[in-house]
Structure 1
Amino acid sequence: MVSGDTEPGRAPKDKNEPPRPGSVRPTSRRLLVAIAVLGIAIGVTIVKAIESGGGVAPTVSWLTLIAWAFLAALLFAAARNTNQRIQVRRERIESSRAVFLLMIGKASAYVGALCAGVYAGFALSFLRAMGSSGPRNRVIMAALAAVISVLVVTAGLLLERACRIPEDPDETP
């Protein structure tokens, strides 16, 4: 679980201190940005490599957008439900379930950041030929996919945050 206090088995507040056993650090926003930048480079490289070989670069379909939006909606629902159970009602959940939800949140944030970058790279690659309708449609679809991927990142981070062990208000420091 992710935690904010320094009790045994919980993550420390000081970012320089290593996490204690049984705890996980929150996902680094800088790392997510770096992954997205890497994704942009990958997206641009894929388009250039395919087009230099005489091929036609891939396009983003409506089905892709719908699938990413559905994933984002599921993650937002899981984050809300988990937050209600752990943070609001202070219910205990099985540790295996909490770890599973935490890992789903972290993985979604990382994969969403990479895909957002790749889709942004696709959009940037098609910008040079924006004059005709085909590339304009490609830019719009790739940009929409990038935005929806950012929603997946956001939902994953919210799910991760919902898995934090709440501070005990009865304890005194």
Structure 2
Amino acid sequence: MAGAVVGWAVHPVCDRIGVVPPLVSAAQPLALLLLAVILGYVAWVTHRAVHVRRERLEPHQAVNRFVLARASALVAALVTGGYVGYALSWIGDPAELADERMVRSFVAAGCALAAVVAGLLLERACRVHDDA
């Protein structure tokens, strides 16, 4: 919710202070998609090692992966909300690039959501079951 509020506020604040609202470039969703792919791959490798092959991770590896997963999921959720809020602020706006800003923001939000899911999958892959 915080990300959505801040994302939505960018457009009116820029209009009020006389600054051109930012464009969402192609690099932003691609960076988020790259993050999602990396997290997804690490989640897959971790799941195979821990749950399929029943290997034990070194404690520092498990903690590092868990912290990476938690931080990535939280930040990506904030970014998802920000892009959704920014996209929603352009609905019905008569500006020239309003539709482009809205579509690119929704695409970036989708990529950020993929990073959230991948982070949660990595967090879940770090869980170990106590068979004792």
Residue 49 of structure 1: how far off its partner (Å): 1.1
Check if 1:161 corresponds to 2:124.
yes
Q: Residues 41-74 of structure 1: CA distance to partner in whole angstroms, max 9, x if unpaired?
A: 0111122111110111111110111111111000
What is the alpha-carbon distance in structure 2 between the residues aligned to residue 46 and residue 96 of structure 1? 40
Per the normalisation by structure 2, the TM-score is 0.95
Distance 1:47 1:113 in 2: 20
State the partner residue of 1:115.
79
Tell me, yes or no, if the aligned pair for 2:76 and 2:116 is still in contact at 8 Å: yes
How far the C-alpha of 1:132 sits from its partner, in A, is 5.8
Q: How does 1:65-144 map to 2 (within 5 A)?
A: 65-129=29-93, 134-144=97-107
- Pick the aligned partner of 1:50 from 7, 11, 14: 14
RMSD: 1.2
Q: Which of 141, 151, 165 is the equivalent residue of 2:114?
A: 151
Residue 94 of structure 1 and its aligned partner are, at CA, apart by: 0.6
**Structure 2 unaligned runs (5+)?**
none
Q: Which has the higher contact order (CA 8 A, sep 6+)?
A: 2
1:14-53 matches, within 5 Å, as 37-53=1-17
> Which structure has the highest helix share of the two?
2
Work out which of the two has the higher radius of gyration on C-alpha atoms and give 1 or 2: 1
